[in-house]
Structure 1
Amino acid sequence: MWLLHSRTYELREFIDNEANKVGYAILSHTWDLDEVTFQDVQSWMVRHTRKLGWKKIDYCCRQARQEGIDRIRMDTVCIDKSSSAELSEAINSMFTWYRDAKICYAYLADIPAARWSARDHYSCLKDSRWFSRGWILQELLAPREMTLYGTDWNQLGTRHELSDLISQVSRIQVSALKGDEKKIGEFSIAQRMCWASRRETTRSEDIAYCLLGLFDVNMPLLYGEGGKKAFIRLQEEIMKNSDDHTLFAWDVPEGVESRLRDGYPYTDQLVRA
């Protein structure tokens, strides 16, 4: 597990439970085209600080320093995507890493301070891209503590303070928004699948892969298999560990591949007996 130092901006790899002993903050955000990468930070080329993605890294590190946290995890710079093994580990460990962080900073890049100050907080959150992405679901639910920030790192509030609004926007029950893994596990498989419906992923397979931690399962990543096969494999893995028959309330309708390319999971297709 790679972590960025909040003062020196240097990367260091931590093995097993070392990261938990050190303590770290973690960033939840949506990806853009001009992100700083693992290779950028390792080579420390000054030009990478001119990338658009550098701003949120700098914001995040400053916040961590204020809170006395020396280590940061953010997926753009802490995953070597040239290594398929490392990418697979990161995706299968994602829920755990967010759960074990001291705090999660959620960066909603499309909510400027002026709009938030206008007090229509529901519309701000509803229109934010952060609430539409498949990968964000685990990042929203797993952390014990979360603070949300807007465009210029203007603080929007904590997940606890905004829980009613977040519940309305995400259609996730307030009781699941407490950073308590046991509470999440009390919801049926069908209910947790509902939380994922209408969320988008860039690659069709990711609509299955982004749910691994939510159901406490692991499986190899096979990009190129298609979203339909990936989701069937996900169901099979869930079945090994659960006797919750609501798993079978979800079917894979015809034409799912085109729908997945458009960013819609087939979890919104409830089959009624």
Structure 2
Amino acid sequence: MNEIPIRLIRLSDMTLVGRNDVRQHFRSSVPGVTVLYHAPHHVKYAILSHRLTYGEMKAGTAAGPGYEKLKSFCEKAREYQTEFAWSDTCCIDKSSSTELDESIRSMFRWYKNLTICIVHMAESVIIEDILHDEWINEGLDAAGTPCRATGIPVDDLHELLPGPFRVDERMTWAARCKTTRPADSRMEKEEISAFCRLIEAIMHAGNPSVLNWKGEAAKHHFSDAIPRSPQSFVGSQGSEFGGGRLEMTMTSLGLRVALVMLPLTFHLEEFVGVSDVRITLDCPLCPTVKTDITTDHN
């Protein structure tokens, strides 16, 4: 059941329910073993991009314009034959470090298994307004906006292909998302730690584009090869890494990378009457390795 959120809003009565309640809901019509191992196929839920606190929902005291907006979202979700809804702001108990940790680690999976994601863009009336809507800079919600607003190529928007490739380019997409600074220091610390774990996992997969960043390194325990954030990839020079795999291992001494060292021959050529100098570096063992550098002698 961890394939779905820890807690959902039951649309029929607008109350918070846990995974056990969801299991009981389907027990009469779906065999229990099926629910246990294939919950995403049976539990249809909508994710609501909304701001409302967990305490208000749990206590049943949620009211005002925010709650009315949430009810409108839930009514829209029912149109898509969903029975449950989820919103990170009111379905996660942030006072529980265990629940907060699981939620952060499982967020991608929960979004992947949803039936529909509903986003309210209060400042948008026509499609062009989305470019200036406050939601365009809010975290995951940017994934659903047009490519010209996010900088994500249209083909990538139409077909999600998760995996450790084109890391440098795809990190620049994430860099455009500006989330509100977490008020909870534990959540902020976990977000930084989660990004470091992500970079380490990509390094373990062997894609060299993860090294194409610049600026200050993250405050990592062992290595300065970990960037601080997706913003570190913005402005880095484009590089062609081919399809090869680079062996990278994070050790207690830092990042270990296997490198091939080749001897180079140095040639210097000065041009008569001009101040330019051409330097040529080539490898006697591998003729295809050759670099020409032209510089001003002065």
Aligned to 1:42: 58
Equivalent position amino acid for 1:40 in 2: E
Tell me which structure has the larger Cα radius of gyration: 2
User: Is the aligned partner of 1:26 residue 2:47?
Assistant: yes
Question: Matched residue pairs, number?
Answer: 208
Return the offset for 1:60: 1.3
Aligned to 2:253: none
Structure with higher helix content: 1
User: C-alpha separation between the residues in 2 aligned to 1:225 and 1:91?
Assistant: 8
Report if aligned partners of 2:212, 2:233 keep a CA contact under 8 Å in 1: no
* TM-score computed with the length of structure 1 as normaliser: 0.65
Structure 2 gaps of 5+ residues are 1-5, 21-35, 220-228, 240-298
User: C-alpha separation between the residues in 2 aligned to 1:74 and 1:134?
Assistant: 14
3-state SS of 1:265 partner: helix
* TM-score computed with the length of structure 2 as normaliser: 0.60
Map residues 261-272 of structure 1 onto 2, 5 A cutoff.
265-270=231-236
Q: Identical aligned pairs, as a percentage?
A: 29
Aligned to 2:7: 2
Report if aligned partners of 1:189, 1:247 keep a CA contact under 8 Å in 2: yes
User: Is the aligned partner of 1:13 residue 2:18?
Assistant: yes
Map residues 1-273 of structure 1 onto 2, 5 A cutoff.
1-14=6-19, 17-18=38-39, 20-29=41-50, 31=51, 35=52, 37-45=53-61, 48-50=62-64, 52-111=65-124, 115-116=125-126, 121-122=127-128, 124-137=129-142, 140=143, 166-178=146-158, 180-181=159-160, 183-185=161-163, 188-203=166-181, 223-224=188-189, 231-240=195-204, 242-253=205-216, 265-270=231-236
User: C-alpha separation between the residues in 2 aligned to 1:175 and 1:205?
Assistant: 36
Cα deviation, 1:178-235, whole Å, max 9, x if unaligned, reads 2x44x243851112101112321233899xxxxxxxxxxxxxx7744895x7644432
User: C-alpha separation between the residues in 1 aligned to 2:8 and 2:217?
Assistant: 43
Equivalent position amino acid for 1:79 in 2: I
Residues 40, 136 of structure 1: CA spacing in aligned structure 2 closer, same or farther, 3 A cutoff? same
Report if aligned partners of 1:200, 1:265 keep a CA contact under 8 Å in 2: no
Cα deviation, 1:15-52, whole Å, max 9, x if unaligned, reads 665455221111234x4xxx3x222122112xx212x4
3-state SS of 1:4 partner: strand
Return the offset for 1:100: 0.6
Structure 1 gaps of 5+ residues are 141-158, 207-220, 257-262
User: C-alpha separation between the residues in 1 aligned to 2:183 and 2:217?
Assistant: 16
3-state SS of 1:49 partner: coil
Return the offset for 1:92: 1.1
Residues 253, 272 of structure 1: CA spacing in aligned structure 2 closer, same or farther, 3 A cutoff? farther
3-state SS of 1:177 partner: helix
Report if aligned partners of 1:199, 1:264 keep a CA contact under 8 Å in 2: no
Residues 187, 21 of structure 1: CA spacing in aligned structure 2 closer, same or farther, 3 A cutoff? same
Residues 205, 244 of structure 1: CA spacing in aligned structure 2 closer, same or farther, 3 A cutoff? farther
Structure with higher strand content: 2
Higher relative contact order (CA 8 A, sep 6+): 1
